[in-house]
Amino acid sequence: MGGLRRVGDRLRFGILGAADIARKAVIPAILAAGNAELVVLASRGLERGRALFDGRVVSSYESLLADLEVDAVYIPLPNSLHREWAVRSLEAGKHVLCEKPLATTAAEATAMAVAARSTGKLLMEAVMYRFHPRIQGVVATLRVTPPKEIWASFGFPLRTPGDIRLDPSLGGGALLDVGTYTISLARWIYGEPEWVEATGRIAEVDMTVSMTLAFAGGARAHLFASFDTPEVQELHAGDVLLDKPFTAWRDPVDPYQVMVEEFSAAALGGLPSPLSLEDSIANLRVVDAVRRSLDTGDRHHLAETGEGSPPVTE
């Protein structure tokens, strides 16, 4: 997956789309990274793109993918477009850093992993919180002697008309937005769950989801994701009570910058992904199981379909 240029050079990024997360977090991270640079942004609204980036802005995603000056693409598009544009980027010879969730389902993510393997390019989900040293230290401690139960929550009120996270056709919903964080954290601590049970409030999209994940040995993770509540974000595990486990960025380290630098080092050096596609697929298998539990009202056993053990994709 390497061989673009010599190790130590900068990975040249293009960004597909003028999303808010790019403006607030990823563009500053690329600009601050020691081994990356932003060379072009593609936005179908040129004025919006120019408001985000004072460098080269183009109106065509296709022209960005054809640009020989672009080594890697960051994709902050709506969830429903991740698979299409990640695969197109990989097939155009670009490494891909894709905003979380990697896809809307495990099947989509698996197809993306197949494309990465066939093209020899790096594909990674941009799960930025995993790069913050504070949460890394907490999880390392918890994994030594895992508590019998943890509680993790991530919620905030979302009422903005037209917000893509409220559009089912674009992969909206609290589960794919903030729920993937809580599932990721539980799996990071315990491994793969044996079964899940979920309830929630469903409108056009799932607005609130409460989940229980059961793990080997009787451990339980009680998870909460919501667009209905006042802002809440915490991890409670044994004696640990951690505020803002997912978004404490730039406190004092910016995990977005660390993520960009580690991704760039892997792409330039032909190294394995800092976050594996197996892990991203496994997270979406749990998301799929939560959806089934929400649909049926029943407990869903992942082991019955082999969902707890994703295929090797890298």
Helix (H, G, I), strand (E, B), or coil: what is residue 17? Answer: coil
What are the tokens at 168?
């089912």
* Catalytic residue, candidates 94, 100, 148, 244: 100
As a whole number of angstroms, the distance between CA 32 and CA 42 comes to 20
User: Angle 133-144/180-190 helices, nearest 10 degrees?
Assistant: 40
In terms of Cβ atoms closer than 10 Å to its own Cβ (0-12, 13-18, 19+), residue 8 is exposed
Residue 100 is a catalytic residue:
yes
As a whole number of angstroms, the distance between CA 61 and CA 58 comes to 8
- Bridge-based pairing state of the strands 195-202 and 300-301: antiparallel
As a whole number of angstroms, the distance between CA 99 and CA 76 comes to 5
Residues with catalytic annotation? 100
